[in-house]
Amino acid sequence: MIIEHKGIQVYYTEQGYGEPIILLHGFLENSTMWKEITPNLSKTHRVISIDLLGHGKTGCLGYIHSMELMAETVEAVLDYLNIKKSIFIGHSMGGYVALAFAEKKPQALNGICLINSTFLPDDKERQALRTRASNMAKTNFKSLVSMSFTNLFSPESKTRYQNQLKLALNEALKTPVQGYIAASEGMKIRKDRTDLFKSLSCNKLFVLGQKDPIMNVVLLKELLEDSDVEIVELSEGHMSYIENLTELTYKLVRFIE
């Protein structure tokens, strides 16, 4: 389904009935990433999955998609659907967007789950990497995406989930170059939301992959010590929805209950 927002089309899917759950995909993903998980969640809940700016079937708004701008787009969909309170589940960049939404409307959350994501901002090294990647995207997009996307999986998963990786990579390559650059620039300037995440009064779940190559798992766990955030560690890399699908689905079903 599609709504108009600021002169572009924003795409979302909807399935099931009950308390709303908002699914937000990561960088170079789209709403199709949830296809294995949605049937389990929609047995008891109304599941809305949104294509974020510059991804899937949603258009771009310039060359910087800040997490706040993406959250505003999510808010437009929820306003259209007349949804006042919901549970947010975000993978990677989707988690950053969920936190940006939570900062603006904390009262609208019944729960928040971050999967392979972080509440920390980019450090200087990560910002520099993003700048280099955005420049490379203009001339060598396919090679850049193929390399960086594949490296998100643990070494074992690259072999074990070869078919799923190929399908996910095909979706990633559908992302327009403008969408790539705008999201990358937006992630580069995102805020530190550690205190916000810890202070939210709703249920909170934090899902980590032990072999995640882009998250500092030890540091993130340390920062959440003495908080009311439930932490779940899965065995593989950054792509838990493929690498640890069964365990992740089980944890999400438990969380929304």
- Those residues of the chain that have pLDDT short of 50 are none
pLDDT at 224: 97
- Angle between the N-to-C axes of helices 177-188 and 67-80, in degrees from 0 to 180, rounded to the nearest 10: 110
Identify whether the C-beta of residue 24 lies closer than 8 Å to the C-beta of residue 37: no
May I ask the CATH class of domain 2-256? Answer: alpha beta
pLDDT in tens, 105-127: 999 999 999 999 999 999 999 99
pTM of the model: 0.97
pLDDT digits (tens, 9 = 90+) for 176-190: 999 999 999 999 999
pLDDT at 132 (0 to 100): 95
Pairing of strands 8-15, 46-50: antiparallel
pLDDT at position 184 is: 97
